[in-house]
């Protein structure tokens, strides 16, 4: 039995720091010879290959890890099971590391460092990139949002037969435009909000939910995390993207992919959680049903946070949609 077979999936709390920032608690997930580091809201921060990390043994049995590319990140792990798993997998990967592989990695690190240096030089011109971004017309942003939505949707089919009564009731409770809500059959992602306000809802969320309060909370959570300034921020930070959009006015697939990636990595922060809690309180809806749903999805840490944001508690409330309309919506989402 290899170390990977012995330690298939492990999750533990550790201390992570980046640069000069103080260390903070994170969740470390071990699997597939990788470490995925998430914040306490279960949002991914970074991912390391165990074969490409530097490990330092501490006197108290802890280990301190850092990526070999040396971008100022460190991770301090003291959980015994996780420490043992990392030691074994790290030792196994180093034992098979050949000189050719080491030199190959060094070449990649050199190229990566050169790319980072070039990016830093480009991004050191914020005035230029900000000026370019300001010249991108609204129509270009709309076309970019449409491309992002098409990429995210893939081959999923919009559920045109879905009765809109339940969706309208949910949208009204959350003060949303119901015409912007789209239910997609065959879409394997989570609720996805495009900066122009359109929302892609997986039909599986509606089918698996035991009440309309669950998708209502999932919608509120996704919308509270959305940054309407994100497209401009991405274009400004990427630099070349801003220049390309100004020169030809037509966004391409690569522009949409950059924005789509940024949307997927939006963190769930204390500020967005506060907006989420306020949105649910204003709608008169509890967050507990959604927390229970998350537990069933194996997202226990996020469920704890969501449950703590409940401002309705045990008080009586009106569900997000009427029972008969909710059942009709679920039935339509399962229809071929």
Residue 113 belongs to a domain: no
Is the pLDDT at 318 greater than 80? The verdict is yes
How much of the chain exceeds pLDDT 90, in percent? 33
Residue 286 belongs to a domain: yes
pLDDT recorded at residue 240: 60
**3-state SS, residue 183:** strand
Residue 140 belongs to a domain: yes
pLDDT-based confidence at residue 15 (cuts at 50, 70, 90): very high
Structural domain harbouring 202: 133-334
Segment 75-90 mean pLDDT: 88
Does 186 lie in the same domain as 62?
no
Q: Which long-range contacts (CB under 8 A, 24 or more apart) does 170-177 make?
A: 170/212, 170/215, 170/216, 170/219, 170/320, 170/321, 173/216, 173/283, 173/284, 173/285, 173/320, 174/216, 174/219, 174/220, 174/223, 174/279, 174/283, 175/282, 175/283, 176/219, 176/223
How far, in Å, CA of 260 to CA of 73, rounded? 26
Does 183 lie in the same domain as 303?
yes
pLDDT-based confidence at residue 90 (cuts at 50, 70, 90): confident
Residue 282 belongs to a domain: yes
Does 44 lie in the same domain as 152?
no
Does 91 lie in the same domain as 194?
no
pLDDT recorded at residue 3: 47
Domain count of the fold of the chain: 2
pLDDT recorded at residue 98: 46
Does 145 lie in the same domain as 242?
yes
CATH number for the domain harbouring residue 62: 2.30.29.30
The answer to whether the beta carbons of residues 238 and 258 sit under 8 Å apart is: yes
Does 208 lie in the same domain as 88?
no
Segment 94-112 mean pLDDT: 56
Does 160 lie in the same domain as 285?
yes
Segment 122-151 mean pLDDT: 72
Mean pLDDT is lowest, of 38-42, 120-124, 231-235, for 120-124
Segment 82-110 mean pLDDT: 66
Is the pLDDT at 107 greater than 80? The verdict is no
Q: What is the pLDDT of residues 182-231, one digit of tens each?
A: 999 889 889 999 877 889 999 999 999 999 999 999 999 999 987 656 66
Is the pLDDT at 311 greater than 80? The verdict is yes
Residue 259 belongs to a domain: yes
Residue 257 belongs to a domain: yes
How far, in Å, CA of 234 to CA of 195, rounded? 12
pLDDT recorded at residue 64: 92
Domain boundary among 46, 69, 95: 95
Does 167 lie in the same domain as 84?
no
Does 51 lie in the same domain as 167?
no
Does 143 lie in the same domain as 71?
no
Task: Copy the structure tokens of residue 31.
Answer: 């699997």
Is the pLDDT at 101 greater than 60? The verdict is no
Residue 167 belongs to a domain: yes
How much of the chain exceeds pLDDT 70, in percent? 75
Q: What is the pTM of this model?
A: 0.59
Q: What is the pLDDT of residues 47-61, one digit of tens each?
A: 888 888 888 888 888
Does 82 lie in the same domain as 139?
no
Domain boundary among 95, 121, 150: 95
Tell me the pLDDT of the chain averaged across its residues: 81
Is the pLDDT at 293 greater than 80? The verdict is yes
Which residue from 204, 206, 189, 171 is spatially nearest to 263, judged by alpha carbons?
189
Residue 106 belongs to a domain: no
Is the pLDDT at 1 greater than 50? The verdict is no
Does 318 lie in the same domain as 195?
yes
pLDDT-based confidence at residue 103 (cuts at 50, 70, 90): low
pLDDT recorded at residue 100: 47
């Amino acid at each position: 039995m290899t170390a990977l077979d012995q330690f298939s999936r492990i999750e533990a709390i550790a201390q992570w720091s980046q640069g000069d920032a103080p260390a903070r608690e994170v969740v470390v997930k071990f699997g597939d010879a990788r470490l995925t580091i998430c914040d306490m809201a279960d949002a991914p921060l970074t991912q390391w290959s165990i074969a490409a990390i530097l490990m330092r043994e501490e006197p108290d049995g802890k280990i301190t890890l850092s990526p070999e590319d040396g971008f100022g990140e460190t991770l301090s792990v003291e959980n015994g099971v996780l420490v043992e798993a990392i030691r074994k997998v790290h030792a196994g990967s180093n034992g098979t590391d050949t000189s050719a592989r080491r030199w190959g990695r060094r070449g990649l690190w050199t190229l990566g460092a050169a790319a980072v240096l070039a990016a830093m030089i480009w991004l050191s011109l914020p005035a230029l990139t900000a000026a370019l971004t300001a010249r991108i017309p609204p129509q270009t942003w709309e076309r970019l949002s449409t491309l992002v939505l098409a990429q995210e949707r893939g081959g999923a089919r919009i559920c045109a037969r879905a009765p809109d009564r339940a969706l309208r009731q949910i949208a009204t409770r959350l003060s949303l435009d119901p015409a912007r809500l789209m239910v997609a059959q065959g879409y394997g992602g989570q609720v996805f909000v495009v900066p122009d306000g359109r929302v892609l809802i997986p039909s599986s969320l509606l089918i698996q939910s035991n009440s309309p309060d669950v998708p209502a909370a999932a919608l509120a959570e996704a919308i509270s995390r959305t940054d309407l300034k994100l497209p401009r921020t991405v274009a400004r930070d990427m630099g070349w993207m801003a220049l390309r959009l100004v020169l030809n006015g037509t966004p391409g697939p690569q522009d949409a992919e950059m924005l789509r990636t940024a949307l997927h990595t939006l963190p769930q922060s204390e500020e967005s959680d506060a907006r989420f809690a306020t949105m649910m309180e204003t709608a008169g809806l509890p967050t507990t049903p959604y927390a229970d749903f998350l537990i069933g999805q194996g997202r226990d840490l996020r469920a704890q946070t969501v449950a703590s944001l409940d401002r309705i508690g045990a008080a009586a409330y009106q569900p997000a949609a009427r029972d008969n309309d909710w059942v009709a919506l679920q039935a339509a989402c399962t229809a071929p």
